[in-house]
Amino acid sequence: MRKLGIQHESWPIAGSFTISRGSKTSAEVVVVTLEEDGTVGRGECVPYARYGETVDGVLRALETARPRIEAGLGRDGVPEVLEPRAARNALDCALWDLEAKKAGKPVWELLGMVAPQPLVTAYTLSLDTVEAMGAAARKSAHRPLLKVKLGRGSTEDLERLRAIRAGAPSSRLIVDANEGWKPEELPTLLAACAELGVVMVEQPLPASADEALRGLNRPVAVCADESAHDRHGLAELIGKYDAINIKLDKTGGLTEALALAQEARGHGLQLMVGCMVATSLAMAPAALVAQGAEVVDLDGPLLLAKDREPGIHFEGNTLFWPPRELWG
C-alpha cells in the first residue's frame, strides 16, 4: 500500500522579498510525501496567488485526489486528478523521487540524461528604493549574475537600474518587471537596458497586454514568465518573446517541464529555468531542467533565513547537484 502525506510548511525569508505586486517575509510551501514499501519520495510546491492558488486550495486538491494516489497512481495519471501548477508539481516530483529511490538510480539516469553539472544561478535583488537597491548591488557585486526586481515605472526603474549597475559593474544583469511596465514605456526601457548591459528582461508587460511585444524592436532578449505556463500556450508566445521562463509550479511538475523545454527549443526560444522562493527540495528537480539553459534562476534557498537539511550545496552563485537524501 502507498501512503500519502501532505504538509504545509512555512520558511522565513532573510528579511523580505519584494516584487511589483507586493512583499512577503516567508515562503509558504506544501510538501507531498509518498511512502511505499518502506521507501519515501518527496516533492515541494509553492501555491502562487498570481494564479489564484492558496495553500488551503492546494491541500484540498491533494486530499481529494488521495484515493487515486494511494491506489498506486502513476505519473501518466496525474493530469487526470490534478490541474496544472502547484499541487500537480509536488505530486509529480514526489513520484519521480519515489521511483528513483525504489530503483536505486538517480532521476537523471532514469531519464537517460548525462550526470548533471554545476549551475551558475542568478541571485535576486528585491524591489526597493534607488538607494537601497544600489547598496544591495554593492554588497552582491562579487556575484556573476544578478536578477533585479523592477516594475514601478520608467523613471524610477531607470534610476534603480543605473544605481545597480554602478554598484555591481561586472555582474551580468537580468531585469524582472513582473508585468509592471506599460507598452509606451518599452522602447525607452529596453534601450536603457541594452545600454547598461542587461542580458534579459523578464515579463515587462502584463500577460493580458503582451501582444504589444509582437513586431517590437527588442535590443535585449525578452523572456515570458507570467505569459508562459506549459506546452498548451507555447504557440501564442512565438513572435512576442525570445525566451521562456520554465517553473515547475507553472508547468505542473518535472514531467511537463522537460517536455516544454524540448518543444520550446524546437521553436528557437532561449530557456530560463526559474523558481518561486522555496527550499532546496523544490530546486532539485528544476536543476535537471536547467541543464543547458541560457539563464538559471534557482536561488530560492539563498533567500531564506535557513534551508532544509540536507539541502543543495551552493558556493557563491554555483549550485551543485543535491544529495540523494534530499531528492532524486
Give catalytic residues, as residue numbers: 149, 247
CA–CA distance, 134 with 125 (Å, rounded to integer): 10
CA–CA distance, 277 with 217 (Å, rounded to integer): 32
Closest CA to 226 of 290, 151, 292: 151
Calculate the CA dihedral of residues 235, 236, 239, 245 and round it to 10 degrees.
Answer: -80
The DSSP-derived string for 264-303 is HHHTT-EEEE---S--HHHHHHHHHHTTT-SEE---GGGG
Q: Kind and range of the H or E element at 28?
A: strand 22-36
CA–CA distance, 299 with 27 (Å, rounded to integer): 13
* 153: three-class secondary structure by DSSP: coil
State the amino acid at position 286 in one-letter form. A
- Name every residue whose Cβ is closer than 8 Å to that of residue 318 and which is 6 or more positions away in sequence: 118, 119, 120, 121
Do 270 and 276 meet the contact criterion of CB atoms below 8 Å apart? no
